[in-house]
Every structure is written in C-alpha cells, then in structure tokens.
Amino acid sequence: MNNLLNAENQGINLFVIEKSAYQAWFSKQDKHNQTWLTNTNYQGDGLALMSDGQGELSQAVFCVADASDYFACGDLIKQLPQSQFLLQAESEHVAAISFGWLVGAYQYDRYITNKPEKTLASLAINNAEIVASAIKFAQATALTRDLVNTPAADMMPVDIAQAALELAEQFNGEVKQIIGDELLVHNYPTIHAVGRASINTPRLVDLTWGDKSHPQVTLVGKGVCFDSGGLDMKPAAGMRNMKKDMGGAAHVLGLAQLIMAHNLPINLRVLIPAVENAVSSNALRPGDVVTTRKGLTVEIHNTDAEGRLVLCDALAEAENDEPELIIDFATLTGAMRVALGTELAGFFSTNDQVAADITTAGLKNSDPVWRMPLHKPYDDLFKSTIADMTNCPTQPFGGAITAALYLQRFVEKTDWVHFDVMAFNVRHLPGRPLGGEAFGIRAVFDYLQARFK
C-alpha cells in the first residue's frame, strides 16, 4: 500500500477539481490542452487524459461533484495508467483524495489462484504528514474488510484471537484469552452458552495497550464468527452471508489499529467475545434460562438473538474498570438495516454530547452515522414470567431499539455508545467494493482524537 501513495513532489500532474470549478480551470489551460479537451468532448465530469502532442501523457484532470467527499476519488486509481502522478488540488481536499485513492486499490483476493498482475498507478503528494495518516486509515479499513471477507472456515474464534495477537505484537500491546469452560470458571456464562455447541471453542479476547495513567476507553466487538441462528435456525438466504456476523470484532480491531498507529494518549482495552452460534446436542435452547455475568437471569426467547447475549457479559466486564467511555460495535439487527438501509451506521448513546460530536466527526470525513433513540418504554417488552427478562421481545417492531435497550441494562454508570452496523457492502460504490466494509470507525477515531489530545 505504501508504494501507491508517496510523499514526493514529482510525477505527471493530476488535477482533481470540483465540477463547479472546471470552467475556471479550463480557461487557464494552454491552447493545446483546451483544443484537446474540446475535441475529445470532455465536459468536466470524470477523468480526462491529455497528450503532449508526441503521444505521451502530459497531464490528467478528474472532476468530481464534491472533492471533500472521502470516496469521490475511490475508483480513480484503477482508471489511470501505471505511472506516478503528482496531485494538484485544493489543500483542504488533499486528505480526502489521499484516502479515497488508497481504499480504491483494495481487493480481497486471498482465494483467487490465478491473480492478475497488478499495474496500479501511484500518487505523489508533497505532504508527508497527510500521506502517513492516509496510509494508516486505509490500512485500518483494509484490516476490517479483510476480517469480514474471510470465510468462516478461516475466521473462527481462534483466528480472531490471532488477529488481536498480531496487532498487539505490532504495537507493543498485550492479549489475554479466556477459553472454553474457563469462561464458566471466570463467570462469563452467556458467552459460553452461545458458543458451547461449536467445535470451535468460544473465548473472550482481551487486548490492552497504552499508558495506564491515561484515560481508559474500552471497545467491545461482537465476534460471532458464523451465525446459523442456533436451534431457531435461519433460512438459507438469511444464513448465506453470516460470515460477517463477527463484523463488530473486525470494527473494533480496525479502530484499535487506528488508535495505536496514531499513538493516542489513551489506555485502550478491547474485549471481543468470539463464538460460533452452531447447532449440536448441547446447543442453547429456546426457553432456557441463563444467568449473566451481571447476575441478571435471561429467558431465551430466540436463539438467533445471540449477539446481545455474548455482548452483555463483555459489557459487564468492561464497566468493571470504570472507563471514561465504552463503545461497542455489532452486526446486531436486521431492523437497523430496515430503518437506515445498508450504507448508514446507526448508533445509540447515553451521552448527548458524545453522540453529537461523533455525528459531527462523521460528517466531516464521509463516515456518516445516525443516532437512534433509547426509548425506555420499550423495556416493558422484555418481561418474563420465569426470569428477570427475556433476550428479545415476542413482537418484531423496533428491533434495533429493543436490542440496544437489552444491552443498556449491562452498562449502568459509564458513558456508552452502541453501533449496530451492516459491515458489508451489497453494491459497488467508488472505493467500496462488494463485501466487508468499515462503518463508523473513522468517525469514532476522529472524535477520540479530538477529545483525548
């Protein structure tokens, strides 16, 4: 990735300008370039390549609607011939262009046997700080995408743990694990209950990094490596892409990489309950009652509402440290996709200012997020006749809200943000291919960077 974006001041001039500025730019070009653009019927939309009259590429122009959109140049790297280009753009747009350039090069090709030779262009930017930051953001995005895209056969709890271990080794962090029946010994009963039916042993992955004297931020990521639905089994169509149900884990690892790579002055903890929701003779059953780490008893109404079960134990543990902030990411409900579609990350927060600041950060860097309400009257929908609560209501309405309300019972004192994300692109957009995607991690990082300076 580093060879695709360079802190240099040489290359073929590449002008990235907004459509509204095209005519002004055109008027400043020499007669040769004006004639070329006119005769090729270029109208100031998309890419145009210009020749020097000898058949050699002399410069290029790429017109976009909004150059501050971090994905506006997301397909540009694949449209240009293999050469080094020197970016010419307004200074306030350079960071966005750099990020879009790099993420546009992303391709998940681990299982392709005959890989085509990559002949991508490179981009030179005369600003080493922007180049270094863009590479860090693109690497975190790629990590998140790679983890989600990897088939479940190669992305089970042990593999999530390995990804955390590799990050810890890279940034001098530490990883501890509680595995299998040890989860019961250490009082993580709901993580164990969901994961016990699989031959892929459930575990709690616990990554720590940073100076203990700094403010603590704890990230929690849902790591359901494959979700069959359990005994309340999903239909085939609903199960097809359930390799992505560990998308929350992928998101917190991507966000953790950003935090550590930028060396933010925080004491970071990352908790990932990693399980497979499988079917076996010892699988969790509808009607069972589980006692959670917090001590609340939960009647299982539906075994396909398993994500909140593994998260609730991890959230209860997260609050033990009394951190400044707890943020969880989860591919938790289809209801959020019904509410907001697949390309907008919904989130809940117990702190209005935190919610407003994360939203503002996302608007600035093309990582939009949308706050949803923690509507407390819906708490009544969790009533059980034999336990403290059920794991989900019997009626389907407001499913994203009720899932968040379930989780909120396990975070009583700490400021908390809960993201319910798709983690997957269902259509190609510039810089965003089909498959795994990172939603909200850049918004959250920019918020954390501004808060903890």
- Residues recognised as catalytic: 234, 308
Tokens of residue 177, six digits = 């694990």
Q: Which residues contact 265 (CB under 8 A, 6 or more apart)?
A: 210, 211, 214, 215, 452, 453
**Please, are residues 250 and 223 in contact by the beta-carbon 8 Å criterion?**
no
**Please, are residues 418 and 348 in contact by the beta-carbon 8 Å criterion?**
yes
Where b means 16+ CB within 10 Å and e means fewer, 339-349 reads bbeeebbbbbb
For 449, how many CA atoms within 13 A lie in the half-sphere containing its CB? Answer: 17
- Spatial CA neighbour of 444 closest among 316, 310, 325: 325
Instruction: Give the single-character DSSP code of 145.
Output: H
Instruction: Give the single-character DSSP code of 446.
Output: H
Query: 3-state DSSP helix/strand/coil percent for the chain, to nearest 5?
Result: 40, 20, 40
**Please, are residues 248 and 210 in contact by the beta-carbon 8 Å criterion?**
no
C-alpha span between 2 and 438 (Å, rounded) = 20
- Spatial CA neighbour of 176 closest among 312, 317, 309: 317
**Please, are residues 91 and 17 in contact by the beta-carbon 8 Å criterion?**
no
CB-based burial label for 39 (10 Å; 0-12, 13-18, 19+): exposed
